[in-house]
A and B are shown apart, each in its own frame.
Chain A
Amino acid sequence: MKIHPHITQRLAVIAMWTLTASTLGVLLFIIAYILGHGLPYVTWSFLTESPKSMGREGGILPMIVGTIWVAGLAVALAAPIGVATAVYLTEYTREGRLTAVIRFGADCLAGIPSIIFGLFGFVFFAIYLGMGLSVISGALTLALMVLPTIIRTSEEAIRAVPHAYREVSYGLGSTRWQMVTQVVLKSAMPGIGTGIVLSIGRSISETAAVMLTAGSALGFPHSVLDSSRTMALHFYILSREGLSMTNAYATASVLILAILVINLAAYWLMRRFIAKVA
């Protein structure tokens, strides 16, 4: 039985729309579910108090602070190194064996599961270097985790800058350093920024690696050598132990809101980058 191709097309499009709509539906459902159950409990006191009774009551201030510390430090370390590496790979070396190997290495490492980073961080930073379960162990581990992504997105952003701009800059009498900083990086910045912002998002969401390196202390981290619990880990513990569903939902809501803001920022930056370079 031969079906008319226009009918097959109709069916195919309907099928694809169903798939897409259900995907988007899942997204909306998750966000609505979490925010619906949790937002009412995200009060000012929730955000500014410390947890009591193992987290059954009270707020999540130490977790917020801990998350900012760990994720912030991680990106603050990884971003300059990653961008510098990308600049070096694209502007200061010629395409060849070495750069291909480096790029392959970075790509592979971008695919390594976070649990392996956690293993490494635990043995190397916490034990071997003696930093213990702490903010700094977690931050260093996360920095290594997001470094390949930052290198890759920065490299792509730099490559997207038209070659002609570089020639023009040289032609007007610039040194390589002037050209890189005043022309290339200036144009590539929004693209690089997108990569950095997305890395922040990833650091905030990460649980497995921080569990093994930053620990799960409930207290307020007073120095980078203190152990600290991030929001994502707190949410995991609260829900797994069944300590307080309302607090769990509230924590997750704060997390989701942060992710939404971060993704919006990344999206906006990407639009600016495309406008500048295309």
Chain B
Amino acid sequence: MPDENHDEVEREAARLMAEERHREPPPACPARAKIIVEDFSALFDGTPALKHIHLEICPCERLAIIGPAGSGKTTFLRSLNRLNDLHWTFSRTGRILLDGQDIYEPGTDVAALRRRVGMVYAVPVPLPWTVYENLAYGPRLAGVTDRRLLDETVETALRSAFLWDEVKDRLRDQATNLSGGQQQRLCLARVLALQPEVLLLDEPCSGLDPISTARIEEALLELKSRYSIVLVTNNTKQAARASDRTAFFLMGELVECGTTEQIFTNPRHHRTNDYITGHFG
């Protein structure tokens, strides 16, 4: 059965590529876009993982990225902060503009970029240090040495991630002693400590219980007033309840992008509908 599905999906993708010229461009942002992805393609060792993506990410919104495994969601996310550069075989064409500046332009300060566009991973990875040290690491890398400033930054970040009350007496504890949900919020706080402008989250709730998941979604709702948030998720229900716009990726292509309400109630492409209703993926 999986084989049949795979063939079918392949044929669909070929048909979609042929339709490319007839597809409407994704809706633009009401105000100036935070990130503009312009005809962006990503390749690993020559094999395309993303094909000609056009997308805009607006300020102060939560954009969910959904799609089956292997559709390029994570690759897309990692392209936004140039984490794909860590792979020797990565190459790309096209541009990604952050506030109008191409992040792939030669001479870009990549470390600074990653401080502006922060990332939370699927599996919480607390560094083997104390809670405080985990949070202070980013600011210290950026050159902050003043102790009082660091203390303030740590507290603010923990509050924004809804973790302060639980760990305020445990700042000197090993971060690995926290529960899974707490660790993930720690990772979120760690990124927030850098006061980024964009937050990228790669399936952040995949290993968490419902309560921890709810806490993180609560945090994202609060944070969207200050940041652009891009959330990759395998869980369509999460996308439906925790995002403002949704983009559907399939086989490295952006199939459809629109408001969450529109995507989930009235998708334009039947493949989107098939995915959302669970016919594949």
Contacts and interface: CB of A to CB of B under 8 A. Distances in A.
State yes or no: do A and B come from one complex. yes
Interface of A: 94, 162, 164-175, 178, 182-183, 187, 276-277
A168 B115 CA distance: 12
B40 interface: no
Nearest to A275: B128
B86 A168 contact: no
A178 B83 CA distance: 16
B69 interface: no
Contact of A170 (B83, B112, B187, B191): B83
A26 B187 CA distance: 53
B86 A173 contact: no
8 contacts: A94-B88, A165-B128, A166-B86, A167-B83, A170-B86, A172-B115, A173-B138, A183-B127
Contacts of A168: 121, 125, 127, 187
Contact of B125 (A94, A164, A182, A277): A164
Given A171-B118, A173-B194, A174-B111, 11 more contacts: A164-B125, A165-B125, A165-B128, A167-B121, A167-B125, A171-B81, A172-B190, A173-B111, A173-B141, A182-B137, A183-B127
A170 B114 contact: yes
A172 B191 contact: yes
A183 B111 CA distance: 16
A55 B20 CA distance: 92
Interface residues of B, number: 24
Contacts of A187: 128
A171 B121 CA distance: 10
A173 B83 contact: no
Contacts of A178: 141
B83 A171 contact: yes
B167 interface: no
Interface of B: 81, 83, 86, 88, 111-115, 118-119, 121, 123, 125, 127-128, 137-138, 141-142, 187, 190-191, 194
A157 B154 CA distance: 31
Contacts of B113: 173
A170 B137 CA distance: 11
A158 to B, nearest CB: 15
Contacts of A162: 125
Contacts of B88: 94
Nearest to B193: A172
Contacts of A170: 83, 86, 114
Nearest to B126: A168
Contact of A164 (B81, B111, B121, B191): B121
A162 B81 CA distance: 21
B194 A167 contact: no
A25 B153 CA distance: 60
Contacts of B119: 171
A277 B128 CA distance: 8
A230 to B, nearest CB: 39
Given A171-B119, A172-B191, A173-B194, A165 B114 contact: no
A173 B114 contact: yes
A172 B118 contact: yes
Nearest to B176: A276
Nearest to B200: A171
B114 A172 contact: yes
B137 A172 contact: yes
A173 B193 CA distance: 12
A156 B123 CA distance: 24
A171 B88 CA distance: 17
A165 B127 contact: yes
Given A167-B83, A167-B86, A167-B121, A173 B127 contact: no
B82 to A, nearest CB: 9
Contacts of B142: 173
Nearest to A179: B141
Contacts of B127: 165, 168-169, 183
Contacts of A171: 81, 83, 114, 118-119, 121, 191
Query: Which 6 pairs, one residue from A and one from B, show the smallest C-beta to C-beta distance?
Result: A173-B115, A172-B138, A173-B114, A164-B125, A173-B111, A171-B119
Nearest to B140: A182
Contacts of A164: 121, 123, 125
